[in-house]
Amino acid sequence: MAENERSDLDHAAGRNGDGPAPVKDEAPAQQVAPPLPQPGGGRYAQIVGWGYHVPSKVITNHDLEQIVDTSDEWIRTRTGIEERRVAADPNETTASLAAAAARKALDVADVHPSKVDLIICSTSSPEYIFPATASVVQDAIGAVNAGAFDLSAACSGFVYGLAMARGHILAGDAEYVLVIGAETLSRIVDWTDRNTCVLFGDGAGAVLVAASDVPGGIMATELGSDGSGADMLIVPAGGSAHPASLETVSNGSHFIKMEGKAVFRFAVRVMAEATTKALDRAGLTPDDVDLVIPHQANLRIVQNSVLRQLKIPEDRVFVNLQRYGNTSTASIPIALCEAIEAKKVKPGDNLVFVGFGGGLTWAACAVKWGVPTAAPEVGWWRSTRRQAGYQAAAARSMWRRAVRWMYDVWPADPEEAASGDHEATAPEPKKQVSGSRGE
């Protein structure tokens, strides 16, 4: 590795002073299941930055009583949810929430966006069918050297993304991977269906995963799928099975449909099983777990799986669904950020992230936390430079569009240029896609 690359990596992992400093694992290395064998020694995938962003608009259970036949009492006792955030401003989209969360994660890690090698955006409410929301985010944050793709594994997607990030890092293909979970589910929820509209919310969370020589990080993952349950949680129309048509729009097939009870039973079973498998692979037991951050769908699911089956006590399980509802793939990273804010995460802790959702899918991972969680002291110069970089990203995006537009206007054929015919067919400048406004 080149010396200058090493120093940036060191900086992100806190070895240069400004960023969160990694803590050397006190436990003997053999207590932790080793990651994939690496030529030349230990290489680990550590979470070094984190951030979340939710819309400011709050919709309470009492607000929902005005819209559908429901009650605050029913929602609270059956789910634990009290309120949720909704992207009320049309400029708030999955990409804009994701970009805001990603910037915060980069700020915490004190890493410039140009250092990011890969952006994985997990979402079930993408900006478009294509291009990937991750590409819109890549442009918005100025991650000029990053590959970008979306990951579709519904509510399990964030943990799938961590597994992908770990794989890329341990294989030596990436030094920094941004993993984002982002949703604007309010845009695909049927606000007349009380079975679903009371459950979901909007938001985004992001983590920056970095290559590190500090043992631990994302130690083990367990991913699963049972597509025989695909129709239990589904947006039936808008894809190739049922392309958008007047009929699909008029019968509401573009909205989320769910068999709640069946999903509930499935969730209780797989949450416990997936957690146990991920812990086994990491060489840990439920007793070793300092904090479980489960997918925030329903308090009763968490109680029946993590608390009752795994017998992990309540004070070692983080729940914030009462304030955000089910934000699908964004729920675990948002909860992680709030757990850090609440000082429930410290270096050396064993964490479990576990989720389930449409697919059907499930995913769990065991993480040995490696960096301090106190708000890092970032030098004003680095911070100002990064903020300027975000502004420059918006300018750069506009410049690239302008150049592309000029190529469109400028005739490829010199004879056409001489005749002046091209002027009649010059296209309008393209509209900027959402999310790339540099907000």
Applying CB under 6 A, the residues found at the interface with ligand UT7 are: 70, 74-75, 78-79, 155, 194-195, 198, 233, 258, 260-261, 263-264, 267, 297-298, 326, 328, 357
Residue with tokens 């059907």: 360
| Alpha-carbon span 388 to 46, nearest angstrom | 27
Are the C-beta atoms of residues 40 and 213 closer than 8 Å to each other? no
In 3D space, the residue among 307, 296, 305, 317 whose CA is nearest the CA of residue 268 turns out to be: 305
Which of the residues 121, 155, 337, 365 is marked catalytic? 155
Residue with the CB atom nearest ligand UT7 in the bound state: 260
Q: How many CB atoms lie within 10 A of CB 58?
A: 16
Give the single-character DSSP code of 317.
Answer: B
Nearest CB to ligand UT7, comparing residues 221 and 329: 329
155 is catalytic: yes
- Residue 352 phi, psi (nearest 5): -125, 130
Examine the residue annotation and report whether 337 is marked as an active-site residue of this protein. Answer: no
User: CB 120 → ligand UT7: shortest distance, Å?
Assistant: 19
Alpha-carbon Rg for the chain, nearest whole angstrom, is 23
- Least gap, CB of 232 to ligand UT7 (angstroms): 9
Smallest separation, CB 70 to ligand UT7 (Å): 3
Quote the least distance from Cβ 364 to ligand UT7, whole Å: 15
Q: Find the catalytic residue in 197, 295, 304, 337.
A: 295
Closest CA to 235 of 324, 126, 332: 126
61, 298, 304, 326: the active-site residue: 326
Q: Is 121 a catalytic residue?
A: no
CB 327 within 8 A of CB 3: no
Q: Parallel, antiparallel, or unpaired: how do β-strands 291-294 and 350-357 relate?
A: parallel
Shortest distance, position 167 Cβ to ligand UT7, whole Å: 25
CB-nearer residue toward ligand UT7: 70 or 248 = 70
Tell me whether residue 97 or residue 99 sits nearer to ligand UT7 (CB atom). Answer: 97
CB nearer to ligand UT7: pick between 187 and 281: 187
Nearer to ligand UT7, 84 or 368 (CB): 84
Closest CB to ligand UT7 among residues 99, 271: 271
Beta-strand relationship, 291-294 and 257-258 = unpaired
Instruction: Tell me the C-alpha distance between 273 and 309, whole Å.
Output: 9
CB 197, min distance to ligand UT7, A: 8
Determine whether 403 is exposed, middle or buried from the number of CB atoms within 10 Å of its CB (0-12, 13-18, 19+). exposed
Active site residues: 155, 295, 326
